[in-house]
Amino acid sequence: MRSGALLFCLLVGCVVTQTATEKEQTLAGGKWRPFVTREQFMRRYPGLPLKYIGKMRKVEQAVKEGELLEKDYQECDAKERHRKRKLLDTAVRTYMRAMNEGEKVYEETGCDAVMIFLSRTVGAALKRLLVEYEKWRHIPTR
């Protein structure tokens, strides 16, 4: 009885850390923020030299811009077809710019954290937008 109560107290008092799948959902779900400090950069991209901080900041800003365009696209009224399609095209171009810049950094450094970031954020976003393009193919034109 006493050991059961002790075990219960230990289980209740232990700290549960965030699982890997929750971290992936946070990145892919758009709940991340671009890094601001050197420490955030070093945590997000371990092993990446500090001379790439500017390039990765540009990549992350492009991803954030793409997310905002994607959000505007989702909120756009169906009556505004031309604006909605333009937002979709601009979001895809912005994500592609981020992907190309990030791939350049990856090719120069071989840092896997860069490719993981790109696949979880940009790759996931491009897959979502590809689904939207498929919807456009099935909408009859007037």
Task: With cut-offs at 50, 70 and 90, classify the pLDDT of residue 110.
Answer: very high
> What's the chain's average pLDDT?
80
pLDDT band (50, 70, 90) for residue 139: low
Max intra-chain CA distance, the chain: 77
Give the pLDDT band of residue 138 (cuts 50, 70, 90): confident
Tens-digit pLDDT profile for residues 49-107: 999 999 999 999 999 999 999 999 999 887 888 898 899 999 999 999 999 999 999 99
Query: 14-33 burial string, b = 16+ CB within 10 Å, else e?
Result: eeeeeeeeeeeeebbebebe
**HEC readout, 8-46:** HHHHHHCCCCCCHHHHHHHHHCCCCCCCCCHHHHHHHCC
Domain parsing of the chain, residue ranges: 18-137
Query: Is 36's pLDDT higher than 80?
Result: yes
Give the span between the Cα atoms of 39 and 45, in whole angstroms.
Answer: 10
pLDDT band at residue 142 under the 50/70/90 scheme: low
Most confident residue range from 5-9, 25-29, 105-109: 105-109
**Is the per-residue pLDDT at 10 higher than 50?**
no
Identify the CA nearest to 112 among candidates 19, 60, 44, 18.
44
- Say if residue 25's pLDDT is above 90: no
